[in-house]
């Protein structure tokens, strides 16, 4: 009976979700519950996996940073974190089901982790941020196992010690909140040294949980306007990211759409004129 349950877990965990190509990146076509199940199942099955996200900002960075692009392209689970990517996928004829921002479903993720007994380690944020984020999660889900926290601002010379601390804690899922491109490149470089089944890049999640940053109203998130709220809250810090980055991303999507249309025209069979009489 136990063996059959383990086999079922392994089958579900190793099953690769449907993947769609959106401007050269392989994005998993999953909804919120599907992503949570995928992460927790892989952790339970002890299946080494690295999960990353893409939004307009990350896509812009990846176009200029080959290390980031490689880290995204080689991740085991890559999903859309912003409505910009969902809209792009629909325009290009490869629709993704939903925008998957971790701050929207982190409580459901914590509940699922607690139910399955999977443990977490939080790495990221300024001093004290990860600790406050862990406290918030445990307030929501008292049974959640958090086996360690560590700030995200550490010297490269201390990297080996940080990796050793994580390994000694033996978490099932390592949440990395260092921002892009740092978190993606760090997780890719250190994957061979980390004795952790699942490494999940979560961006600014710890800042939201710790009250360092505020989420936009739900209606703005649903409408794809969270960027406007964040820009209004921090125009100096977020100005370049959104006022310059959003038009750049829109241009990249338009170019991809035009190339796709032209490619279809090139592949269309030429008309053959039939002689009369």
Does any domain span residue 265?
no
Q: How far apart are the first and last CA of the chain?
A: 77
**Rounded-to-integer distance, Cα 124 and Cα 180, Å:** 12
Mean local confidence (pLDDT), 170-184: 97
Helix count (H) and strand count (E) of the chain?
14, 8
pLDDT tops 70 at residue 270: no
CA dihedral 148, 134, 179, 66 (to 10 degrees): 40
In this prediction, residue 41 carries a pLDDT of: 96
Gap between the Cα atoms of 217 and 232, Å rounded: 13
In a domain, 274, yes or no: no
Mean pLDDT of all residues in 3-30: 69
In a domain, 28, yes or no: yes
pTM of the model: 0.88
Query: How much is the pLDDT for 269?
Result: 55
How many domains does one find in the chain? 1
Please give the mean pLDDT across all residues of the chain.
89
**111 found inside a domain:** yes
Classify residue 236: in a domain, yes or no: yes
What distance separates the 2 farthest-apart alpha carbons in the chain?
Answer: 86
Q: Which domain holds residue 136?
A: 14-256
Check residue 264 and give its pLDDT.
73
Q: Please indicate, yes or no, if residue 273 is contained in any of the structural domains.
A: no
* β-bridge partners, 173: 120, 198
3 located within any domain:
no
Segments in 15-94 forming alpha helices (H): 32-44, 56-64, 66-73, 83-91
Residue 251 has pLDDT above 80, yes or no: yes
Res. 218 pLDDT band, cuts 50 70 90: confident
Q: Does residue 69 sit within a domain?
A: yes
Instruction: Return the pLDDT at 266.
Output: 61
Specify the pLDDT at position 233: 85
Section 32-52 average pLDDT: 96
């Amino acid at each position: 009976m136990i063996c059959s349950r383990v086999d079922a877990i392994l089958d579900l965990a190793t099953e690769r979700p449907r993947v769609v190509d959106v401007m050269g990146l392989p994005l998993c076509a999953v909804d919120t519950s599907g992503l949570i199940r995928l992460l927790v199942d892989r952790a339970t099955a002890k299946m080494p996996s690295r999960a990353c996200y893409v939004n307009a900002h990350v896509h812009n960075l990846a176009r200029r940073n080959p290390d980031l692009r490689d880290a995204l392209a080689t991740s085991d689970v890559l999903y859309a974190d912003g409505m910009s990517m969902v809209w792009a996928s629909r325009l290009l004829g490869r629709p993704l089901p939903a925008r998957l921002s971790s701050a929207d479903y982190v409580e459901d993720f914590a509940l699922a982790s607690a139910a399955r007994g999977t443990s977490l380690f939080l790495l990221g944020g300024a001093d004290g941020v990860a600790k406050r984020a862990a406290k918030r999660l445990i307030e929501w889900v008292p049974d959640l196992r958090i086996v360690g926290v560590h700030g995200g601002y550490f010297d490269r010379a201390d990297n080996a010690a940080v990796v050793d601390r994580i390994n000694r804690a033996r978490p099932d899922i390592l949440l990395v909140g260092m921002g892009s491109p740092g978190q993606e490149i760090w997780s890719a470089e250190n994957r061979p040294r980390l004795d952790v089944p699942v490494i999940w890049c979560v961006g600014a999640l710890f800042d939201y949980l710790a009250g360092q940053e505020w989420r936009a109203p739900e209606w703005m998130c649903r409408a794809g306007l969270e960027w406007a709220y964040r820009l209004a809250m921090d125009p100096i810090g977020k100005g370049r990211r959104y006022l310059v980055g959003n038009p750049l991303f829109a241009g990249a999507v338009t170019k991809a759409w035009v190339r796709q249309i032209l490619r279809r025209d090139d592949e269309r069979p030429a008309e053959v004129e039939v002689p009369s009489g």
